[in-house]
């Protein structure tokens, strides 16, 4: 049974958006309705990434949308957030793909790259004809990226990279990897490197057996004596903070994206409760315990919308701090996961069937809660901002 999304706006949120922002959202919403929702359950069952949607997303300007020039759309951060909301209302996997392409590959090339690197990569990536991945996380260095073991040894004409990366979105379909490694030429500091994935010694293998993000490509990367030229160093990267700047871009998008997943779960649960009858032939929407769940969901989504918008406005003004983004990512992902669980409760046994999107969102959000900084890590980031004392 397909339940068409009816929108969500309990506090007249739309009055806070400009006409351009509403147009961007409606464009993304229509794209999801027409192209993603008809195929996503099959993709999820089969563990298939819907690569056929890449080119249309590029045509809409949804890759690197906040960047200026190089074929990019030059949108605001709020407009970017609204795109992420709608894509994740469809599925976290597609939003993850767009987040990586935009925030973790195009952004570092734009921010830290040479003019030659920008010219070579950004325009084809904006069109979706070239894809990228972001190689930071390692098998033994997740929440503590400073413990990475990947090394870049300098040679007369470039670098030789050795190391392993894990849980890399789009790894096996990428044309280029932004790889973070400790460079002996720079005193062991972490630097970013562009590694074309067809170079000898580079290998990407997909992770199988996932119960989450099944419509997304997740890979391990292996670099065994991979040789790259000097010009593949991202010249303006300066230590681990450069990688964390990229993560902040992605975390911001997540804070918006999960709103879409939460809205999808809430609207599905509300519509289901309005036609599902139990006890005295009444819709379960008339039961007190069901109403309490729906009210909690609607209240938390409304608060999370306002938080995401405020952080987006701060970002567009150049005022957003890293802890603002941690606050939004931590709160909104937690909220969305709780909404998914409550929606699953309301749907009862139907909550586990992919006739409805709830359990798919629930499973996806379990990963979203972990990646780009776990819930607990963002708790510590906020704790340090509040108290002035690092608890790491």
- Write out the DSSP string of 271-287: HHHHH-B-STT-BGGGS
Decide: 58 and 126 in contact? Cβ < 8 Å: yes
Number of H helices, E strands in the chain: 12, 7
Say which of 21, 86, 164, 372 is annotated catalytic. 372
Say whether domain 241-387 belongs to CATH 1.10.10.10.
no
Q: What is the pLDDT of residues 13-39, one digit of tens each?
A: 999 999 999 999 999 999 999 999 999
Of 127, 131, 226, 123, nearest to 174 by C-alpha is 131
Q: What is the pLDDT of residues 90-137, one digit of tens each?
A: 999 999 999 999 999 999 999 999 999 999 999 999 999 999 999 999
372 assigned to active site: yes
Indicate the pTM of the whole model: 0.96
pLDDT at 3 over 90: no
The token pair that represents 338 in the structure block: 């709780």
Q: Where are the beta strands (DSSP E) in the chain?
A: 132-135, 151-154, 158-169, 176-183, 189-196, 202-206, 218-229
C-alpha 31/C-alpha 62 separation (Å) is 11
Cα-Cα-Cα-Cα dihedral sign, residues 334, 335, 340, 341: positive
Q: State how far the alpha carbon of 156 is from the alpha carbons of 181, 183, 185, 189, 240, in Å.
A: 18, 14, 11, 19, 25
Q: What is the pLDDT of residues 353-384, one digit of tens each?
A: 999 999 999 999 999 999 999 999 999 999 99
The token pair that represents 303 in the structure block: 């608060």
- How high is the pLDDT of residue 392? 84
Parse the chain into domains and list their residue ranges.
13-127, 132-238, 241-387
Averaged pLDDT for residues 302-309 = 98
Q: What is the pLDDT of residues 139-195, one digit of tens each?
A: 999 899 999 999 999 999 999 999 999 999 999 999 999 999 999 999 999 999 999
In a 10 Å sphere around its CB, with 0-12 CB exposed, 13-18 middle and 19+ buried, how is residue 37 labelled? Answer: middle
First to last CA, the chain: 48
Averaged pLDDT for residues 247-269 = 97
Band (88; pLDDT cuts 50, 70, 90): very high
C-alpha 372/C-alpha 247 separation (Å) is 6
C-alpha 262/C-alpha 139 separation (Å) is 30
Specify the DSSP class assigned to residue 193: E
Say whether domain 13-127 belongs to CATH 3.40.605.10.
no
pLDDT at 1 over 60: no
The CATH label, of 3.90.1280.10, 1.20.950.20, 2.40.110.10, 3.90.1150.10, for the domain at 132-238 is 2.40.110.10
Q: What is the pLDDT of residues 38-82, one digit of tens each?
A: 999 999 999 999 999 999 999 999 999 999 999 999 999 999 999
């Amino acid at each position: 049974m397909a339940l068409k999304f009816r929108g969500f706006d309990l506090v007249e949120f739309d009055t806070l958006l400009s006409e351009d922002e509403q147009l961007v959202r409606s464009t993304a919403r229509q794209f999801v309705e027409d192209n993603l929702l008809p195929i996503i359950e099959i993709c999820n069952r089969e563990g298939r990434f819907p690569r056929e949607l890449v080119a249309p997303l590029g045509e809409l300007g949804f890759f690197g949308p906040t960047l200026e020039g190089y074929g990019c759309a030059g949108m605001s951060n709020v407009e970017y957030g609204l795109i992420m909301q709608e894509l994740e209302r469809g599925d976290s996997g597609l939003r993850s793909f767009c987040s990586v392409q935009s925030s973790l590959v195009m952004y570092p090339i734009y921010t830290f790259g040479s003019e030659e690197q920008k010219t070579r990569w950004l325009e084809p990536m904006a069109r979706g004809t070239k894809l990228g991945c972001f190689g930071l996380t390692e098998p033994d260095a997740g929440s503590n990226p400073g413990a990475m073991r990947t090394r870049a040894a300098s040679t007369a004409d470039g670098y030789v990279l050795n190391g392993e990366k894990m849980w890399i979105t789009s790894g096996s379909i990428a044309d280029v990897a932004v790889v973070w490694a400790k460079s002996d030429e720079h005193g062991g500091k972490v630097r970013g490197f562009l590694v074309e994935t067809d170079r000898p010694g580079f290998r990407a293998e997909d992770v199988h057996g996932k119960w989450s993000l099944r419509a997304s490509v997740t890979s391990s990367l292996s670099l065994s004596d991979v040789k790259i030229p000097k010009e593949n160093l991202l010249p303006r990267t300066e230590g681990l903070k450069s990688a964390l700047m990229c993560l902040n871009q992605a975390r911001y998008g997540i804070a918006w994206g999960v709103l879409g997943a939460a809205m999808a779960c809430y609207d599905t649960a509300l519509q289901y409760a309005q036609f599902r009858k139990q006890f005295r032939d009444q819709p379960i929407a008339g039961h007190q315990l069901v109403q309490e769940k729906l009210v909690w969901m609607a209240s938390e989504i409304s608060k999370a919308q306002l938080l995401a918008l405020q952080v987006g406005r701060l970002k567009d003004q150049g005022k957003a701090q890293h802890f603002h983004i941690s606050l939004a990512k931590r709160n909104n992902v937690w909220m969305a996961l709780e909404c998914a669980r409550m929606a699953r409760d309301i749907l009862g046994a139907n909550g586990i069937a992919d006739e409805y999107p709830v359990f798919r969102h629930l499973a996806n959000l379990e990963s979203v809660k972990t990646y780009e900084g776990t819930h607990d890590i963002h708790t510590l980031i906020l704790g340090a901002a509040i108290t002035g004392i690092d608890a790491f």
